[in-house]
Amino acid sequence: MRMYDLIYKKKYGGKLSKEEIDFIVQGYTKGEIPDYQMSAFLMAVCLKGMDMEETTNLTISMRDSGETLDLSKIHGIKVDKHSTGGVGDKTSMCLSAMVAACGVPVAKMSGRGLGHTGGTIDKLESIKGFSTSISGEQFFENVNNIKMAIMGQTADLAPADKKIYALRDVTATVDCIPLIASSIMSKKLASGADAIVLDVKMGSGAFMKTLDDAVALADAMVKIGTMAGKHTSAVITNMDQPLGLAVGNSLEVIEAIDLLKGKGPKDLLEDCISLGTLMLVGGGVTDNLDEAEKMLLKTIEDGSGLKKFAEFVEAQGGSPEFIYDTDKFEKARYIDPIPAPKSGYVSRIQTDEIGMCSLILGGGRETKESVIDLSVGLILNKKLGDEVKEGEPLAYIHSNDKAKTAQAIERFLNAYTISESFEGKVKTTFARVTSDGTVYF
């Protein structure tokens, strides 16, 4: 086999066999295929596409480029959830506790963030003593004992994806559904869960800007998971505004805890319910979505979700006192309102710009070496469709540096559009995608 011939074949729309795809992925991972040939191949895929069989074979080959987790020591059907990423997305923390409280094992691997805020790992580290650097045996034991554990993602998981993505990032080959789907699913399949639920974000703060593109990506990932023998489903959720009200690390943890106490924002709860019902169905505790919703809501009403989260935190070295008393979290030195420049209705939010405000304050990483300030961020006071009076706070900014505060406020005001009226309807979820098809809400 020659890489030249495979590039030529895909350039003219030919279908690649499993053996040919393995040759490309494994050869590139080992350094036997140079960057310039892999770049040409990726561009050919962007222009000519891949069918589902090719995309699945690409995913499996990337999965098999490194280690795969064996979760057989964990009892029951293991369920994992993955989000394509968004501003204010703290769902994993509260949702995992709710699902675990319903008896479904959640064995989750998460990464650190590179961008506007930290990843789930960074956010959880704002809890005193909490650590995701636990052994595999401790991970298995925690899931068996309390049905929930979150640990840092190993560098040996799907190394082909890391190497290929770095190349895609500099060759304008990121925006291609077969490549996006295989990138995400290779890591999810390597993580070893039996059932996978995907939160596919859509809107100004997401990679997929339109509903059609988001559904196409979700459908591809669900088909890959299904063809790989995993119970896979997805929900398309709104990222035309931040999820919830908090943007920042410790601020988002506090909001996730508030949700478990029954005080969380409506859109975050709806996101948790739409994803959690599929997780309970995938976990085999019920085959009825309405019953699954009642089970999840009960974990908030009876406090079992909050208790589960505290157990999880304590099992990984953290102080459960932070869960029951969020005043213990480190606070930013300055909290300043961002006054509305005029009266009207919030008609548009450029969500990715709100994320950049958090980054300016120090709440995210511009490089892998950046040190995150876990206490900074924003608490939104007005969201899409809300009426606002001139001078009324649009948000409160939490900062430890007044110069950064001024920069973030200027950027924030440019991200908000205030109009005389708002006729639109704000939705949290748009569609559910399963192996049986797509249901639009």
Catalytic annotation, residues: 82, 161, 168, 183, 187
What string of H, E and C letters represents the secondary structure of 204-217?
CCCCECCHHHHHHH
Residue 286 token pair? 């019920």
Residue 299 CB neighbours (<10 A) = 23
Residue 222 token pair? 């669900």
Q: Which sign, positive or negative, has the C-alpha torsion 163, 168, 169, 171?
A: positive
Alpha-carbon gap, residue 249 to 118, rounded angstroms: 6
- Give the strand pairing for 148-152 and 106-110: parallel
Can you give the C-alpha Rg of the chain in angstroms? 22
The residue written with tokens 């675990």 in the block is 100
In the sheet that holds 387-388, the strands lie side by side as: 387-388, 344-349, 416-419
What stretches of 264-303 show up as alpha helix (H) in DSSP? Answer: 266-282, 289-301
Print burial letters for 164-185: b (CB count within 10 Å at least 16), e (below 16). bbebbeebebeebbbbbbbbbb
Alpha-carbon gap, residue 249 to 236, rounded angstroms: 24
Alpha-carbon gap, residue 139 to 141, rounded angstroms: 6
Alpha-carbon gap, residue 379 to 358, rounded angstroms: 11
Q: Where are the beta strands (DSSP E) in 343-422?
A: 344-349, 377-380, 387-388, 393-399, 416-419
Per the CB < 8 A criterion, the answer to whether 160 and 66 are in contact is yes
Q: How far is CA 106 from CA 38, 67, 134, 194, 378, in A?
A: 36, 20, 16, 10, 29
Nearest by Cα to 125 from 331, 316, 315: 316
What stretches of 30-150 show up as alpha helix (H) in DSSP? Answer: 35-48, 52-63, 91-101, 120-124, 136-146
H/E stretch holding 199:
strand 195-202
Nearest by Cα to 63 from 156, 165, 189: 189
Burial category of 393 from C-beta neighbours within 10 Å (exposed 0-12, middle 13-18, buried 19 and up): middle
Residue 217 token pair? 């990506």
